[in-house]
Amino acid sequence: MSEALNFDQIFEGAIEPGKEPKKLFKEAYEGTITALSYAEILLNQAIRTYGKDHPIGYPDTAYFLPVIRCLSGEEIRTLGDCVPVLNRARMKIKEAKTFENARQWGESTWYAADIIEAIRYIQNTPENPLHVKPWTGFIGDPVVRQYGTKMVDWTIPGEAVILGRAKDSKAAKKLVDSLMAKGLMLFLCDEIIEQLMEENVKLGVDYIAYPLGNFTQVVHAANYALRAGMMFGGIKPGDYEAQKDYQRRRVLAFVLYLGEHDMVKTAAAMGAINVGFPVITDQELPEDKQIPDWFISEPDYDKIIQTALEVRGIKITAIDIDVPITIGPAFEGESIRKKDMFVEFGGQKTPAFELVRMAGDDIEDGKVELIGPDIDGLEVGSRLPLGIVVDVYGRKMQEDFEPVLERRIHYFTNYGEGLWHVAQRDLMWVRISKDAYAKGFRMKHIGDILYAKFKSEFSAIVDRIQVTIITDEAKVLEMREIARKDYYQKRDDRLKLLTDEGVDTFYSCLLCQSFAPTHVCVVAPERVGLCGAVSWLDAKAAYEINPHGANQPIPKGEVIDPVKGQWKSFNEYTYQNSQRTIEAVNFYTIMEYPMTSCGCFEAIMCMVPECNGFMVVNREHGGMTPSGMTFSTLAGTIGGGAQMPGFMGIGKSYLASKKFVPADGGLARLVWMPKDLKEQLRPQLEEAAEYAGLGKDFIDKIADETVGTSGDEILPFLEEKGHPALKMESLF
């Protein structure tokens, strides 16, 4: 990686000779010495109390102390392991006030902060937690991976780290509201958190706005970014230059340093600059305390965000939507509990449906019509029927695109602060919060959101959009029947006819390559993408919408092995697009040349040798599995574009596919899965089991965590149930 080796060239010429910001460097130097001294004091105290062999680490991570693991490659497992790290960091400190030294001081400060925070976690217990909501402290690997897809497809266009204190709480709210509306991921540290809570700003993991804590807890923003490089970039531990190069090019982050400066915070800011993240402060600074393009003063709160975006090179494509609530992906994870709800629709409590349909050029672009009563004057907790009809005209629009666009109703609605949408079609369930209603949100605004988002994100195929919102029950029932008979059923029948054998082209998906450079996902009619979000029709539609995008057609061509599912054309495409590292791929087995795994997969499948079968664990399951690893550990092992026989990331729906690893024996090989996942997929699995001749009761022959979490524990259960995998040909 020649570019990585020359990473430090980006700093060359940043400061004219003779104009070094000596005061800034002096502050950073003193902050580094303070941070290292504090870390040494805490470490010595901890060793005296617990002993040098006492374990140290963060919860829910496979990366030990991630800053140290990523940058130096060391596996810090005990308190004693921290001693040489701090000694080496102190030895690297040079007093000369240069930009190069300042960046090294920043790195040493990150090391010190990583150790300080890990020591604090020794006393973290469920009975006496170190953090209570909304404070997050360390953010575990499952959360980092959860938002991987949104980071790679630029739904989340960048990351903002905010530390310190804004000039007042209202200014803090205005800054964060603007960043959320632009879709950025936020990391918050110090007094800014209390200021935002004063203004009732929604914070927490669900809003991708992480209130980390105070002081050295800002390091959790750093270790989040560095883990992303290892998880999705395939960067090996200790590959220092490649990691810095990746952070600069791929993780579009910047720091907003607010309020009076503190020498330790300034030193930590130098650590951010060291990996390519510029720092913008609201303090009025003289030239001798600034670094052009890297440490910048912008006291005007109306300009500070735009300055940060421009300096970091973040392009915001979101458009303003004239509604009384904030719109952005930060609110997609928001849950609206019953006590916070003003009104709800659907969810099997009232009739509801949603439909996107192709229309003629007679529709009126931008028209939003409400048929039925609005929510004005309703009692808190009321229920209404709901129909959402989006009519689309476009010269390049096709019927196959209808369900692709229809699924976006879920995402676009959830982008609204105070809106909650689950499920789809005639199972959809929508809630509007008391807060959104109080701000003036009404039914027409749902149409305004959908119109703006469809027009901005599907401009290549959408020329006109007309939205009809229906709350009149008779009309909802009438239109729901039309949707079911004329659209849903027709689409389902079309999907059932789609088979791997029935098409001559599969589609690639390279969205995750910004995090997993050697990963190539190939989507087939009977195999959804690993993330679970890209079907064959989705990929086909995406190619039609953008022929130069991440989804490209791959004609089948010559077959090499029809049983294991290997084609010459797929091998060639994969080789050319995996940085020439993956030479062969089988689509119908995980035991030989399986598809690579990115990191954004919904679930992981792997062998359980003791039971002659496979287990599957989904991202939501946090417990141990018969593989001897948790989901997080498995993901860290196989992600980043790795091809590992016996292990593979999958989309959940693949479990019910007729092409579920047929060369390995198909569904009959499934011996363990989490109970919640089993119940979630039970209808689809029962149908698949009957098709495979296994009978509906096969699902109850699959062990789960209530039976055991090791091969030896679940084997007696499988024998008692007569699980077919035990009588099948050996996997080895």
Place of tokens 């672009």: 365
pLDDT value for 514: 61
Backbone angles phi, psi at 274, to 5 degrees: -60, -30
Q: What is the torsional sign of CA 619, 622, 624, 628?
A: positive
Residue 1 has pLDDT above 50, yes or no: no
pLDDT tier for residue 2 given thresholds of 50, 70 and 90: very low
Backbone angles phi, psi at 259, to 5 degrees: 80, -170
pLDDT value for 422: 87
pLDDT value for 578: 87
Residue 334 has pLDDT above 80, yes or no: yes
Give dist(CA 288, CA 23) in Å, integer.
7
Q: How many CA atoms lie within 13 A of 493 on its CB side?
A: 7
pLDDT value for 435: 96
Give dist(CA 432, CA 445) in Å, integer.
11
Question: Which H, E and C letters describe 599-657, residue by residue?
Answer: CCCCEEEEEEHHHCEEEEEECCCCCCCCCCCCHHHHHHHHCCCECCCCEEEECHHHHHC
Place of tokens 């199972």: 427
Tens digits of residue pLDDT in 229-277: 887 777 889 999 999 988 988 889 999 999 999 999 999 999 999 999 9
pLDDT tier for residue 5 given thresholds of 50, 70 and 90: very low
Residue 484 has pLDDT above 50, yes or no: yes
pLDDT tier for residue 318 given thresholds of 50, 70 and 90: low
pLDDT value for 149: 59
pLDDT tier for residue 41 given thresholds of 50, 70 and 90: very high
Model pTM greater than 0.85?
no
Evaluate whether 272 touches 222 at the Cβ level (below 8 Å): yes
Evaluate whether 5 touches 243 at the Cβ level (below 8 Å): no
Length of the chain equals: 732
| Residue of higher predicted confidence among 537 and 47 | 47
Report whether the peptide linkage leading into residue 329 is cis, meaning its omega lies within 30 degrees of zero.
no
Residue 516 has pLDDT above 80, yes or no: no
Residue 626 has pLDDT above 90, yes or no: yes
pLDDT tier for residue 20 given thresholds of 50, 70 and 90: confident
Question: What average pLDDT is seen over the chain?
Answer: 92
Strand 185-189 versus strand 159-164 pairing type: parallel
Q: How many CA atoms lie within 13 A of 63 on its CB side?
A: 33
State both tokens at 220: 């959790």
pLDDT value for 130: 85
Give dist(CA 209, CA 230) in Å, integer.
22
Give dist(CA 506, CA 345) in Å, integer.
38
Give dist(CA 392, CA 232) in Å, integer.
36
pLDDT value for 127: 76
Residue 495 has pLDDT above 80, yes or no: no
Closest-CA residue to 122 (of 76, 72, 189): 76
pLDDT value for 209: 95
pLDDT value for 148: 65
Q: What is the torsional sign of CA 171, 176, 178, 181?
A: negative
Give dist(CA 323, CA 417) in Å, integer.
11
pLDDT tier for residue 157 given thresholds of 50, 70 and 90: confident
Q: What is the torsional sign of CA 671, 677, 679, 682?
A: negative
Residue 199 has pLDDT above 80, yes or no: yes
pLDDT value for 506: 97
pLDDT value for 315: 83
Give dist(CA 539, CA 523) in Å, integer.
7
Tens digits of residue pLDDT in 387-396: 999 999 998 8
Q: Average the pLDDT over 186-200 and give the result.
A: 97
- 72-81, 284-293, 680-689: the lowest-pLDDT one: 284-293
Residue 124 has pLDDT above 90, yes or no: no
Contacts of 399 (CB under 8 A, 6+ apart): 358
Q: Report angle CA 177, 180, 185 to the nearest 5 degrees.
A: 135
Q: Average the pLDDT over 573-591 and give the result.
A: 93
pLDDT value for 37: 97
Residue 29 has pLDDT above 70, yes or no: yes
Residue 599 has pLDDT above 90, yes or no: no
Q: Average the pLDDT over 522-537 and give the result.
A: 89
Percent of the chain with pLDDT over 70: 98
Evaluate whether 31 touches 262 at the Cβ level (below 8 Å): yes
Residue 503 has pLDDT above 80, yes or no: yes
pLDDT tier for residue 4 given thresholds of 50, 70 and 90: very low
pLDDT value for 341: 97
Residue 317 has pLDDT above 90, yes or no: no
